[in-house]
Structure 1
């Protein structure tokens, strides 16, 4: 006679929480036993070379000191050096204040550095400072262009030197396609926002990089990258550039003026890419309201024309003059809040509303690109933005639709020189690595260096007070 065990369809499997609690207790007991018998005690390998000093394990670092050096590592490694890189918008004072150097000492440093020829700083410049044990400043260094400028303080004498670096210039070309944004594509290729900003500035009169770029747009840039002692030493000029937006291609070729050697940019026909007006008077924004004859006002709730462009941007964003001109009005103007109106000589006038701060006075002259105010939300406004408007004669026009003339063209006497520069740029973009995306090197050059300049200045003689 056989028996079958009964089948329990809903048989209990036990208490899950209880089993989990038991496992945790067992694991904790194991850790206590391991700690007691030093099962996890660190066993140091034999020292073979000094590369081990790179370890961040300070107990191991002390052992390296004992075996390899007669002095502590702090003697060999300058841990008290602080460095930074100059960014767009930095001033000499703001840069040093961010490095915890007082305004008085910053002024001293500037006057000393100025005495050996450094008049201004540029984005990409490298700055280092070294402080002593007591926190006193012992050394200040800046790599600007192709020179190291260094100040040493000792007792009552300061020593300043200007030393040329062996700068190697790489002429590079970058080929890219917009997938998200220009800045994002450049970053993926390992190129700084410095070049992105320069590129955007070159085409600022034709392309509004807040609204115009589309996925699939193609860009090419030929530019200079400098290296000193194997380290990046900033960027040089953009030599040539091309941007294709919705089947329309824009060119820019760098050509130095014969009188002042400033790099200026011209299109494929020799016309200046710089126009009378910027496409947009600020960076880092989005259009929150366009030019229209019918818009419901966000505050008043009524439908009326909006004969300008609203650029949404954070409070404090710099606002630039769209063109050279004269300030007709700068002050409060009803619903526009803090308001600026500029006259541009001919038939054009531009206005800037809802500013947080006005930085010009009525009657003063301004130049294209000059900061005239800061974005705000004054007057009838629901958030920080710039209300930008343009008039031609007495009628408002859409700043994004109006066709603006170029400033000038290549003179006949320099036409042949420009053609050679243009052809070189086209060859670089069309034949060298034309089918390869990303960053490529076209040429490497190493200019001859000049002599070292050294000065010693007594601190009580005025220049370094």
Structure 2
């Protein structure tokens, strides 16, 4: 500053005067208010409140967006439609889940002074209440309520509670999400607390999926958007007709209709498979779910057959049914009167059908073995087991675990030797014609036919829409 003053004094007198005038004019221009300035743009009164009946310019971030009109709206609709899947869920059903007493809208409305608390590792309800500024008496009073006691005393890390207090620090409301559908609500009343369960309305939508097998069934299911559980469920439904380890071929295909559950537009979980169709080596199989939870063909015959096509989840067949096979140990021609299924040692072996165990024992050739007589016509045999799970004389159900896969007896490696005998004659378990499944009960035929026609028509419609879209 001293140097500036010294330089100013060295200037001629006239220059000093002109410089002072220039500085003075500049200051006036800077300080003078502009006519275009709107002082009221976001001006509030001296007490910090907006005035009544006064128009203020609101920032765009706080405005409600207005929908586009005219051609712009049509353009956006077309853009949105392109985002949607080609096949839409075709049926929407609402299921009201209720638990008495049911909370009203007022019970669950957000309150002032409420805070969210997340359960931490090692937390108890008392510790969480203490963090919220509540007392041990509050814990006691709330847990005297049956539903609160049942749910709040077993809170887990990651669970969340919403706690609202009044100006005196008293608990006014507590909300705890039991699951995606139900919320426990505890409200203060004159004489203590009351509890209720607020339940969302569950909406059931039908969803369609289909795929063609290119490499294997599992990959095809994943490409179709199915979950691992749905893929296994589909295999179980058709497991009596199709051997999913040996019978599938490239270009076999399937289509299914299944349920999806939503609450307030939020996806909850997949529901039941309602209808399905599976094409295997040119043969078509259908399945429809009925109200009893069982699956039947579109014509009304049970998908559950008298016998499983294979009694073990195997990796491959090491030796097929062959009346003139060379024995791998002795090298002599000896009929192989069953099928050898290779799998991991300890893999469960299932009874192919219900029946009675006529033999459960051990010898040097068969190792551990189990023979089951199903009726006067059919008998099945299971050889080389690691362990036997049933005893002679026991009754077994279809699918019951009767032992585990092993390598006992005269064998070259771990496997299950499985025989299927019809009227005393050994038949190939993989090709023998199994007895027909039972038809649906006579009194259910008419109502089932209505359900079957509706679901199979819907399945076929979705298939045609999918074909047209490609």
TM-score when scaled to structure 1? Answer: 0.57
Q: How does 1:179-198 map to 2 (within 5 A)?
A: 179-198=214-233
Given candidates 324, 327, 340, the residue that maps to 1:297 is: 327
The verdict on how the C-alpha distance between 1:308 and 1:165 changes in structure 2, with shifts beyond 3 A counting, is: farther
Instruction: Give the deviation of 1:421 after TM superposition.
Output: 1.0
CA distance in 2, matches of 1:80, 1:349: 56
In the alignment, which residue of structure 1 is the partner of 2:206? Answer: 171
Query: Which consecutive unaligned segments of at least 5 residues does structure 2 have?
Result: 1-115, 123-146, 160-176, 185-195
Q: How does 1:114-263 map to 2 (within 5 A)?
A: 129-130=156-157, 166-227=201-262, 233-256=268-291, 262-263=292-293
* Structure with greater strand percent: 1
Instruction: Give the deviation of 1:238 after TM superposition.
Output: 1.5
Instruction: Give the deviation of 1:266 after TM superposition.
Output: 1.6
In the alignment, which residue of structure 1 is the partner of 2:377? Answer: 347
Compare relative contact order (CA 8 Å, sep 6+) and give the higher one, 1 or 2: 1
Instruction: Give the deviation of 1:322 after TM superposition.
Output: 0.6
2:321 matches 1:308 = no
The verdict on how the C-alpha distance between 1:338 and 1:230 changes in structure 2, with shifts beyond 3 A counting, is: farther
Instruction: Give the deviation of 1:268 after TM superposition.
Output: 2.8
Deviations 1:336-366 (A, max 9, x none): 2111111102310001111122111211111
Instruction: Give the deviation of 1:211 after TM superposition.
Output: 0.6
Instruction: Give the deviation of 1:389 after TM superposition.
Output: 0.8
Given candidates 279, 294, 315, the residue that maps to 1:264 is: 294
Q: Is the 1:327–1:366 Cα contact (8 Å) retained in structure 2?
A: yes
Instruction: Give the deviation of 1:269 after TM superposition.
Output: 2.3
In the alignment, which residue of structure 2 is the partner of 1:416? Answer: 446
Given candidates 338, 343, 358, the residue that maps to 1:328 is: 358
The Cα RMSD (Å) is 3.6
Q: How many residues align?
A: 300
Deviations 1:231-283 (A, max 9, x none): 76443221111111121111111112xxxxx3112223222222111111122
Instruction: Give the deviation of 1:430 after TM superposition.
Output: 0.9
Deviations 1:82-118 (A, max 9, x none): xxxxxxxxxxxxxxxxxxxxxxxxxxxxxxx9x98xx
Query: Which consecutive unaligned segments of at least 5 residues does structure 1 have?
Result: 1-74, 82-112, 117-126, 133-140, 150-160, 257-261, 438-465
SS of equivalent to 1:387: strand
CA distance in 2, matches of 1:354, 1:333: 10
Q: How does 1:354-393 map to 2 (within 5 A)?
A: 354-393=384-423
CA distance in 1, matches of 2:429, 2:276: 24
SS of equivalent to 2:294: strand
Q: Is the 1:128–1:142 Cα contact (8 Å) retained in structure 2?
A: no
Q: Is the 1:315–1:374 Cα contact (8 Å) retained in structure 2?
A: yes
TM-score when scaled to structure 2? Answer: 0.57
SS of equivalent to 2:443: helix
SS of equivalent to 1:431: helix
Decide which structure has the larger Cα Rg and report it.
2
Instruction: Give the deviation of 1:413 after TM superposition.
Output: 2.4
CA distance in 1, matches of 2:353, 2:273: 23
Instruction: Give the deviation of 1:169 after TM superposition.
Output: 3.0
